[in-house]
Homo-oligomer: A and B are copies of this chain.
């Protein structure tokens, strides 16, 4: 890479909300060329019309021989599938990253099939919206958000630096390093569990007309992510099943403790829990 940093040929695979937002944000860095890959013809046409990609492809193909950096913004299993299917198309020395919300099995599988002269670095942009698709793409979703990189012993410092530089250049505030297994353990608590909770809260919703009239900010916020992409989150949850189950169980213990105090009308105990939790929340975020 030269001084200016992004005089590269970049391919973005999957032009949904995340992939198209990457394309949009990367365009500002004036790379040599952005190749867009998406199985949906209309999405490709839209991306060309928006001017966020320079060339459009329905699949990976020989054009990948010219590509220095590939960003795969597909579901986790499709990410692995794309790499498996295109091993023969990749350029020697190519750097590949992804955007999957689970890392351990994705990184393991990819590392087991990728030859030594190609490198994969797991990435997880902590950004999104409740709804997906190129129409909602916006480079604003990255501004101030957290970006996680999950390097392994197979990664070179200079390539890790490229991913960090890219993340910061498109607006991410914090770039954090953690190994793939730890990533999945922490994310099961900070991201997957809140989704499990939001879905369960709506699932438990009493059948009542106009229940929306009785809601305030607490209910709206607690259930915002209950409008969920079914295929994506089924995959994320089941791929990280064991770690997620253990976080759900810890949450169940906490709610059960609170329930006991409410049942016994134990004001002192509630007061104590509330004070501790308020402090902890303020420290956390």
Report how far A186 CA is from B174 CA in the complex, Å: 41
**Interchain CB contact (< 8 A) of A199 among B208, B233, B241, B273:** B273
Interface assignment of A136: CB less than 8 Å from any CB of chain B: no
Q: Which of A200, A237, A256, A263 has the most CB of B within 10 A?
A: A200
Q: How many residues of chain A are within 8 Å of chain B by beta carbon?
A: 90
- A277 beta carbon closer than 8 Å to chain B: yes
Select A250's contact among B204, B253, B263, B277, beta carbons within 8 Å.
Answer: B204
A162 to chain B, nearest CB (A): 21
**How many identical subunits does the complex contain?**
2
Contact of A211 among B174, B194, B267, B284 (CB under 8 A): B284
For residue A272, give the distance in angstroms from its CB to the closest CB of chain B: 8
Instruction: Flag if B194 contacts A273 (CB, 8 Å).
Output: no
Q: How far is the CA of A199 from the CA of B230 in the complex (A)?
A: 27
CB <8 Å contact, B275 and A202: no
9 contacts between A and B (CB under 8 A): A186-B211, A191-B216, A202-B277, A203-B258, A205-B280, A230-B270, A233-B274, A234-B271, A248-B262
Give me 11 other A-B pairs in contact (C-beta within 8 A), A200-B251, A203-B276 excluded.
A176-B213, A198-B218, A200-B255, A202-B280, A221-B222, A222-B225, A227-B281, A229-B274, A230-B270, A234-B270, A248-B259
Task: Report A's interface with B, CB cutoff 8 A.
Answer: 126-128, 145-146, 148, 174, 176, 178, 186-187, 189-191, 193-206, 208, 210-231, 233-235, 237-238, 241, 244-245, 247-259, 262-263, 265-267, 270-271, 273-278, 280-282, 284-285
